[in-house]
Structure 1
């Protein structure tokens, strides 16, 4: 399918075979990004991992991400941090549940969890929820993250109609420039703090150590861009996925029951699920595209295609038990050279959190009915309504999280 976004030609890919052709067979050809104003003003002039065009600079960023940030050894070094934050979440949920007759609004808590895990890994600071580090900085950071998310949902008309590129409708570009300047000052201050205290086990300090030996690769701007992308891309996506998973489990109680039985059988009730336990839990050709064309993989359509999936609209985790599904049929982390390098972190965070909630609480909906699954139209596909559920602590909760 082809259409136009303003003056830009766009191709929509609707089959898994075409997705594989575009993003595996011909992924180098389609590895660059359109030069939208978001990339210029919010991504250090197209130099971050998400906004940079394919080339030497992007390959260097990908190398840094794979070898220095998301490498299994680096992620494993923060295992105790993730364990501590998830345990704190279980205690917080238990307390709120007891105070509110079981009702718990989970969306904000899960978002706090993902931000705190990522920011503590990066900078050793908790900016969300309880026991925040440096309240003034925390409030400023939260505000900037909210602004970033809002900007990502908006489209600048000049990106689609270049003749309008010099018209700043509604002050959109001006607001982006202001936020970008404030974010840069905040991140530079964070780097300077780490230069003055090199003893903390954080990713920023690790990158600064690499800067001393390879200054041409690890400039301050590159480090700030890496912090920004991790904070933006590694938080709301995991939080939204967890929320959808919880909703699907509550609307498919037989699946929730199987997951709980597996946890009880494999782990018992004497300790909270840990990352090393996860491996035990099996249930949990030729279209010419003109240069400059944007290509979108229609994941929504492919994931609901009855020619690709048996009974696609029903929640069936068991369909993935016999082996990893072909990536071009699911695309949870993208595909090809531009696929998300944070997949390993996301798997650890989501499985640990979801498993802990299943292990520690009995779940129900607030009114006993199915959860509304309406979707919000935005850059990130989240639910229209914040998730509120009934969570009752299981009898052995204190023993599990002690």
Structure 2
């Protein structure tokens, strides 16, 4: 037994020695080239000890100490961190072709059916094909316009629920209700599932549960992704949990796909109907003229990507915006006056009204500046290149810290103050949120920008405006809402926003 313990200890020491030597040689090799400043690191884990459960805040502190561009090693993975718009532009525009891949890990690879969707898929012929599908078919202007009545139906259902709660003085958890709303909007647009029947209700709830569970798993830091000799070890049982989720999703998608195919047979070829996103994907799958043939796994991966990208992100943004408006009642009142000036006192706000609500659009920009839904843009280099005068190796992970950028006093006057007026002046019309200005790019930029930004810019302001128009929002205590964040891939609130929605608008149409 003693000999066995000695053998284990000796093996462990040898392993640590090999790792340390490998680390030193790697750093020495890197020192032959000009690389960004880097903090002191430790063997094996690199700079992991410097990263808290809020990576964006850790990156922010390190950038204050070491400058606008720094190099880190998360385990054995080389990383670059910046929160400077000009440096970000160098990486994401000037050298875009070298940084067009998203970072993938074991969890995202598995849940995307082996990179068969569109969010994590590496840049290449397949990605270009699916990008075209997203922008021209699935999430293009024509499709979104056709599906507008379905979105409006879910908004009305949401408002009627809030009205019922408010009339009895019942408090609601705003984030939970918003998550149900956005999940319902995505579900009805994707597969026409709604709260109309028992089966549909069950599917909507199951989808929301799967999206929540997947987001939690994907958001966890997995040691296996960063330290090379742990690569094949499933420390937290994530693989089993992800498999259970994907199996449940496959079972549901098989049934829903058959329902769509049977409905198509009943309608007959050429019959007019409003296609949902699954209809469109199934038609593309059947089209033999496409240069790339979609499989059932591609279709399932697409649908799951849409749910993951569009459900909690929109809900979180609306919740942060409402929290800021409650804490800044003068902004709430100004927004309400603008809405009433457009709709009058008897008509509910519509998506088509948003272009006539510049202050509401400024509120969304200001919310995303301070509370970016995804606090850090992540890319991975596909080749070695020289950026901003520094040698960047292939397979280097790039972190662009949007959270830090939005709080930089060099970029924004009084950055911690919620002041939508900053976006109302002529000079700041350049901030369109579509990634053209690298100082504000909540949906990313370039070819890997979020393909669903058009949908987000309809759903978020319309539903926030409806909540402002229809209700006063009362909170307990001193009327102030805490603004603490919760660690996650996205940027949710740490504590539930509990409010009583007091009705102030009595003309909410029926959702039937």
Task: Give the structure-2-normalised TM-score.
Answer: 0.74
Find the counterpart in structure 1 of residue 14 from structure 2: none
Counterpart check, 1:117 vs 2:193: no
CA contact (8 A) 2:175 2:496 kept: yes
The 5-angstrom pairing of residues 3-402 of structure 1 reads 3-99=72-168, 101=169, 103-126=171-194, 133-198=199-264, 199=267, 201-214=275-288, 216-284=292-360, 285-321=388-424, 322=426, 323-325=429-431, 327-394=437-504, 397-401=505-509
Inter-partner Cα distance in structure 1 for 2:422 and 2:314: 22
Inter-partner Cα distance in structure 1 for 2:197 and 2:506: 21
Worse-matched range after superposition: 74-83 or 366-375: 366-375
Worse-matched range after superposition: 230-239 or 175-184: 175-184
Structure 1 residues 35 and 365, CA gap change in structure 2 (3 angstroms)? closer
Q: CA deviation at 1:135?
A: 4.5
Deviations 1:104-155 (A, max 9, x none): 321111111101111101101026xx86644543443333222212211212
Q: CA deviation at 1:178?
A: 2.8
Larger of the two Rg values belongs to structure: 2
Aligned residues: 397
CA contact (8 A) 2:182 2:315 kept: yes
Inter-partner Cα distance in structure 2 for 1:131 and 1:364: 33
Look up the SS of the partner of 2:439 in the other structure: helix
Inter-partner Cα distance in structure 2 for 1:255 and 1:57: 46
Structure 1 residues 80 and 324, CA gap change in structure 2 (3 angstroms)? farther
Structure 1 residues 211 and 48, CA gap change in structure 2 (3 angstroms)? closer
Worse-matched range after superposition: 212-221 or 312-321: 212-221
Worse-matched range after superposition: 360-369 or 23-32: 360-369
Tell me how large the CA RMSD over aligned residues is.
1.8
Q: CA deviation at 1:257?
A: 1.0
Inter-partner Cα distance in structure 2 for 1:381 and 1:329: 19
Worse-matched range after superposition: 355-364 or 135-144: 135-144
Task: Give the structure-1-normalised TM-score.
Answer: 0.94
Q: CA deviation at 1:32?
A: 1.1
Look up the SS of the partner of 2:323 in the other structure: helix
Inter-partner Cα distance in structure 1 for 2:198 and 2:455: 22
Q: CA deviation at 1:369?
A: 2.9
Look up the SS of the partner of 1:2 in the other structure: strand
Q: CA deviation at 1:398?
A: 2.4
Inter-partner Cα distance in structure 2 for 1:131 and 1:385: 33
Look up the SS of the partner of 2:237 in the other structure: helix
CA contact (8 A) 1:126 1:133 kept: no
